Chain A
């Protein structure tokens, strides 16, 4: 507990907890700490410490006072009663949000951000696709490779007004297979989807692996 905070700073959003405690306004940053550290039970023990011990039974076991003191026991029982009620309250907090989620998603889809409009590979140069739409298709292609999941996917024309594009993609990769092999498979999938599904000319696929995709943790890993 930082009772001696070397960097007292004013916290304008917080008011001293106990205005009746003398000197409480002088060091607002430490007030919270001093305040909950200084409230003592009739036996002299700080209430905060008794509660801390109650939550960490290992430390409480080596303190003979707490187990024998009626004031401490009452404080601990009070916290236990609050904890029981808290668990009951937590169990009730399961609102059904399906209709709300649907409403939110509809509202968001109505505000779709299309991004730049890209020229498709078409001799008449009059067909375009939104960058965000193309990116969705290319991410899905990358996702289809086991051990790869796409994150960012940006597309830009090689030159202004060009039908050739560069794809810059970041992926999270599992480490099951060598990364060069994975990268090659992702690039192949992205190029294939761009050509066959979108009709978009892609000159280069720049891949950046910037996260490790870890397998889901096994349910029980306490006994290896």
Chain B
């Protein structure tokens, strides 16, 4: 289980709160709004923005820097597509959801107040979009649903490809959960979000998140009983 990330390098000197202003050539004011790391999640060789922290890229993109936004798309796109595929079960719909979410983010960025990180904000947009898409009355094409487990649940599953079969069984069991439970479980267990971030993403209290996670685990352990 991943816990909330701790601040790293506690011993590192903090920025001075009141730098000696007159000695500085302009009017530098230090507002330690939380240190940013230079090396967040590098994507080597992607582009010149590859080593910039999300916080900087977000400010730049908010001022119309499309190169900065492109770096954010490359950094977060894969994770968000994985999320949308799990939430929707259909690769085409998932790509549409992620594309729409990023374009909507690009338009909203000038008003983005950074009460959450860019990543959490995108999780929120994609999750909401997927949950809304699922509320539309439509049928999922059967051939895009996750593959059923090949093993008969009543018998002991074979050792060979057991983990793949278990993953497939879990994937199907997820579809038996309601969309809200499924979203909370996926955000926690497949994406490692904190309870607080999940609460922000799905728009409910942390306590509700904990309750949903418990119910999701309860249902999933039941469904996975043949794999004990």
Contact = CB atoms under 8 A, between A and B. Distances in A.
B208 interface: yes
Contact of B28 (A100, A153, A207): A207
A77 B226 CA distance: 12
B218 A100 contact: no
A210 B34 CA distance: 9
A62 interface: no
A213 to B, nearest CB: 5
B218 A103 contact: no
A84 B166 contact: yes
A187 B28 CA distance: 12
Contacts of B209: 32
A78 B36 CA distance: 40
A101 B81 CA distance: 10
Given A97-B78, A108-B106, A13 B203 contact: yes
Contacts of A222: none
Contact of A85 (B25, B31, B170): B170
B189 interface: yes
A14 B78 CA distance: 30
A214 B27 contact: no
Given A179-B19, A214-B37, A85 B29 contact: no
Interface residues of A, number: 89
Interface in B66-117: 66-67, 69-70, 73-74, 77-78, 81-82, 85-86, 91, 95, 98-99, 102-103, 106-107, 110
Nearest to A169: B26
Interface string A119-150: 00000000000011001100110000000011
Given A78-B225, A213-B36, A214-B36, A36 B211 contact: yes
A108 to B, nearest CB: 5
Nearest to B37: A214
A67 interface: no
A103 B29 contact: no
A212 B35 contact: yes
B64 interface: yes
Given A13-B204, A36-B215, A105-B73, 12 more contacts: A32-B211, A33-B211, A78-B225, A81-B224, A89-B190, A93-B85, A112-B64, A152-B63, A170-B59, A179-B19, A208-B31, A214-B12
